Amino acid sequence: MIRSSGTVGFQDRPAPVASSRLTNAIAASLAIGSLTLCLAVLLTVVSSKITMAMSIPT
């Protein structure tokens, strides 16, 4: 059996999967989504604390 020279295992250069613009766009959309989720949770917590702090009129 003759082994081809120069290529052993996974030592070849990795091929680029996506362009850098696409990678940056995905990173930006994930950052915006996580910020939106954090703001929604914060708003929910603050509104529930305000609701619990208000006295119920009888």
- % residues pLDDT > 70 (the chain): 66
Q: Which amino acid is at 25?
A: A
pLDDT in tens, 32-52: 999 999 999 999 999 988 888
- Cα three-residue angle 8-3-14, rounded to 5 degrees: 25
CA distance 56 to 51: 9
- Cα three-residue angle 31-34-40, rounded to 5 degrees: 140
Using pLDDT thresholds of 50, 70 and 90, give the confidence band for residue 10. low
Domain borders along the chain are 21-53
